[in-house]
Structure 1
Amino acid sequence: MNIKQGSTSADTRPAFARRVFYIPGYDPIHPRRYRELYRKEGAAQADISGYGLTLNARSGKGRYGWQVAARMDGAEIASEVDVMVWSDIVRDSMSQTIAATYLQLVRTAWVYIASGALLRLMRLRKGPVIAALYPVGFLLVQAALAIALAYGVCRAVSWAWGAALPYDALGDVIGAALGIGAGYALLRWFKKRDGKFYAYYLMHDYAYSARYRGANPPALEARMAEFADDIAAALTGDADEVLVVGHSSGAHLAVSILADLIRGGRVPPGGPALSFLSLGQVVPMVSFLPDAHRLRADLAYLSHSGALTWVDVTAPGDGCAFALCDPVAVSGVAPPGKRWPLVISAAFTQTLTPERWRALRWKFFRLHFQYLCAFDRPGDYDYFRITAGPMTLGQRYDGRAPSASRIERPVNKFTGMAP
């Protein structure tokens, strides 16, 4: 075991210092989940790859995070990781009644279907579209089962009443009441077990973007401004690299945050290298919506900026991501002189052993987090070398060719970048 929690010598001076800002996706869970994932998977990767990591819990107030001391390739590296928490906003958006969730279903389906976004997304990757349709389908199945149960109970009670007593309309009333109660109880049973089904969770996720037709809700915009302030402060510090990691829907938040920073002149020349790593991105689910003007403008702006390095990592084995889809190009906003992102594959079928791949291939949500985990046969993508190693993201991928199977054709109907 090459990773542990503890302290390092105060006399050790790192050869490389890094600040990491991790922006999670639509996730209501406490950020300690990410620290434990880093601890566990970092240990596994350290054993496989033969380097050392020491994880230290951060004390005091401030954003949730941890410190990592690493020894790789003969160098000592110190990384400080901050989790940019917006789980409270997610939880607030998920506090919906059963009836409100079904209303969200109707509104979300209408936005994606009526705008034509759904059909265009299917021209990119069917996996994430199926993932988007899953909560709609499963919630409708739940409703159908509840209606069938309600009808069955109603008929059974009415029949039993009529068999025992002379026919009376009261039997129908009692049967209807008991039937409705049974149907509602079944719906509540499904909702309580959504930790296994993910239907309500995913419905809330897609509804969150669809509600504003691709624009950011005010509460999220305010939180993103706070994130930008923290990153800007780090860019004036003495780190060698400031690395922003955006996972899943956190990737499109990072795009806008970084575009705001660069556009606002908050990336000082001669300061730390600014790097952006997007993982398992689902950018088209938002950028293809009618009112995603801000995101499309930020994608275009960031893609030709010389102020940062942007590497986008996905894998065809991740059915929840738009694998190898260049988020700028497919959104139809690639400008002349486009530089970013460098689109590469984590290639799960090659970087995981056959046994490991067979164990994970049908665990879709687990695979969506594989980017943050250990690989049995790591290639040039290693999350722990990127976040705790002795090279900047730009140095690590200097000269790296993009994936030959990447998708760059523009299929978005909505390409406007101003309201």
Structure 2
Amino acid sequence: MQRDVFYLAGYDPRTYRFYYSLFKKNLNQYKDRFNIDAQLSKSLIQQNDIYWNIEGKDYQTKYHFLAWNDIVKINWSENFKDALLDCYSFFRIYTITGLFIKFGKASIYQLITGYYPFFYVIFSLCLALICGGSVFLLAQIYIHFVFAALFAVFVFYIVNRFLFNYGRKLAVFWISRICSFCANWHKHKKEHLEDRIEKFAYSIFDILKKNQNNKNYELILIAHSVGTIMCIEILERILHLCKEEKIDFSKLKILTLGECIPLVSFQKKSIDFREKMEFVGGFDLKWYDFTSVIDGACFPLVDFMQESGVKAQFKPKYLSAKFHTLYEKKYYKKIKKNKNDAHFLYLWSIQLKGDYDFFNFVTNNKFLEEKIRS
């Protein structure tokens, strides 16, 4: 059994080294817990292809990392000013347009998560202004007006800085970055992403084409978070190439994890994006979409094809990861409290066998569709 896995990360500035380390740590835990045969190689780079191999007695998986973290870094928010700009983008694209109503109807969880950073930033700014203003009014009674003003500015800065750092721990600004980036998807795509999407699509298509006659082969495209939006763009190009060159696409399988596709597909200006969704929806694909309610950055069990108004002959199988069945109760409670951990849980080793099993999906000698109950 031979398998190529192409992993597309979300909106994350961290390099392949982080994801390799995450994969290695969790694969080792999975091996120890379930006694599976899986030997992991070092991460390798060959002609811009970043990958690592997982081998067992009767299978071989080549795990490719599709890197676009350099593009993320260009748009990465670093300070409170950036957070304010992110909130402005969110307000301009999703609130003024009334799009938030559609989000609320599709997923109340996503609506709450989307507004959580917005209100946190506004609250932080107001609280810092109130503290600074109060200090100024009180201090000017005892000291010179100029010194009172300087002291007030200092208090404003300290309060603002404290709330910003606390917000980082709560993953406030990470969520606002995702929302802002997706709100301006078409701009970012035109400026930075177009060439990268094209490159990824051709790389996947070339390997699919080379293995079209291999009966014991599958190619799995795994996309996580914002990567699921890129996945639509990549899939559209791959399927166009398959159609043009009459290549069998049945060995292509798709796993979307923690998808946030509606952040783009719900926008009125996303006509081209929805047309691509409709084109992809014309192919009978083995596509499994896993989401979870505890993942605040996704749209749990939302039919993003139908909700986006896309007329598709085919739709992904929308499945719940059911994380609560995969971990011990005490451990699961800790995970739920950490939004960042909950969002990355799709890539972790499970503790108890269940419907969702990431390392089972990418190892052993069975095809992906044999491993998923749907």
Q: Same fold by TM (over 0.5)?
A: yes
Counterpart CA distance in 2 for 1:268 and 1:391 is 26
Contact between 1:235 and 1:268, CA under 8 Å: does it hold in 2?
Answer: no
**What residue in structure 2 maps to residue 167 of structure 1?**
none
| 1:365 Cα deviation after fit | 2.2
**Residue identity opposite 2:52 in structure 1:** W
Counterpart CA distance in 2 for 1:380 and 1:269 is 32
Give the unaligned 5+ runs of structure 1: 1-15, 162-170, 402-419
Contact between 2:77 and 2:83, CA under 8 Å: does it hold in 1?
Answer: no
- Alignment pair present for 1:202 and 2:204: no
Q: Could you list the per-position Cα deviations for residues 190-216 of structure 1 after superposition, in whole angstroms to 9, with x for gaps in the alignment?
A: 445554132222222211122357883
- Alignment pair present for 1:386 and 2:368: no
Q: Could you list the per-position Cα deviations for residues 333-371 of structure 1 after superposition, in whole angstroms to 9, with x for gaps in the alignment?
A: 133xx2220112211222333333333232232122111
Match 2:139 to one of 157, 178, 187: 157
Percent identity reads 23
Matches for 1:177-326 after TM superposition, within 5 Å: 177-192=150-165, 195-211=168-184, 216-238=189-211, 240-265=217-242, 269-270=247-248, 273-306=251-284, 308-326=285-303
Q: Residue 67 of structure 2 aligns to a residue in which SS?
A: coil
Q: Residue 235 of structure 1 aligns to a residue in which SS?
A: helix
Counterpart CA distance in 2 for 1:210 and 1:151 is 34
Counterpart CA distance in 2 for 1:148 and 1:192 is 19
Instruction: Rate the CA distance shift 1:46–1:272 in 2: closer, same or farther, 3 A.
Output: farther
**What residue in structure 2 maps to residue 173 of structure 1?**
146
Q: Output the aligned Cα RMSD.
A: 2.4
| 1:236 Cα deviation after fit | 3.0
Instruction: Rate the CA distance shift 1:324–1:218 in 2: closer, same or farther, 3 A.
Output: same
**Residue identity opposite 2:343 in structure 1:** H
Q: Which of 1 and 2 has greater Rg?
A: 1
Instruction: Rate the CA distance shift 1:66–1:194 in 2: closer, same or farther, 3 A.
Output: farther
Structure 1 window deviating more from structure 2 (338-347 vs 98-107): it is 98-107
Q: Could you list the per-position Cα deviations for residues 143-173 of structure 1 after superposition, in whole angstroms to 9, with x for gaps in the alignment?
A: 1222123213322331222xxxxxxxxx223
**What residue in structure 1 maps to residue 52 of structure 2?**
66
**What residue in structure 2 maps to residue 125 of structure 1?**
107
**What residue in structure 2 maps to residue 417 of structure 1?**
none
| 1:258 Cα deviation after fit | 0.8
Contact between 1:236 and 1:268, CA under 8 Å: does it hold in 2?
Answer: no
| 1:288 Cα deviation after fit | 0.9
Counterpart CA distance in 2 for 1:388 and 1:214 is 38
Contact between 1:312 and 1:341, CA under 8 Å: does it hold in 2?
Answer: yes
Structure 1 window deviating more from structure 2 (212-221 vs 364-373): it is 212-221
| 1:115 Cα deviation after fit | 1.9
- Counting matched residue pairs gives 368
Structure 1 window deviating more from structure 2 (179-188 vs 84-93): it is 179-188
**What residue in structure 2 maps to residue 166 of structure 1?**
none
Structure 1 window deviating more from structure 2 (249-258 vs 203-212): it is 203-212
**Residue identity opposite 1:131 in structure 2:** T
| 1:56 Cα deviation after fit | 0.6
Q: Residue 90 of structure 1 aligns to a residue in which SS?
A: helix
**What residue in structure 2 maps to residue 12 of structure 1?**
none
Counterpart CA distance in 2 for 1:362 and 1:51 is 31
Counterpart CA distance in 1 for 2:74 and 2:196 is 14
Contact between 1:320 and 1:365, CA under 8 Å: does it hold in 2?
Answer: no
Contact between 1:242 and 1:272, CA under 8 Å: does it hold in 2?
Answer: no
**What residue in structure 2 maps to residue 409 of structure 1?**
none
Contact between 1:26 and 1:90, CA under 8 Å: does it hold in 2?
Answer: yes
Q: Residue 135 of structure 1 aligns to a residue in which SS?
A: helix
Q: Residue 64 of structure 1 aligns to a residue in which SS?
A: strand
Instruction: Rate the CA distance shift 1:101–1:217 in 2: closer, same or farther, 3 A.
Output: farther
Contact between 2:40 and 2:55, CA under 8 Å: does it hold in 1?
Answer: yes
Contact between 1:132 and 1:202, CA under 8 Å: does it hold in 2?
Answer: yes
Contact between 1:45 and 1:374, CA under 8 Å: does it hold in 2?
Answer: yes
User: Larger helix proportion, structure 1 or 2?
Assistant: 2
Counterpart CA distance in 2 for 1:146 and 1:313 is 40
**What residue in structure 2 maps to residue 360 of structure 1?**
335
Instruction: Rate the CA distance shift 1:134–1:217 in 2: closer, same or farther, 3 A.
Output: farther
**What residue in structure 1 maps to residue 3 of structure 2?**
18
| 1:45 Cα deviation after fit | 2.3
Contact between 1:121 and 1:129, CA under 8 Å: does it hold in 2?
Answer: yes
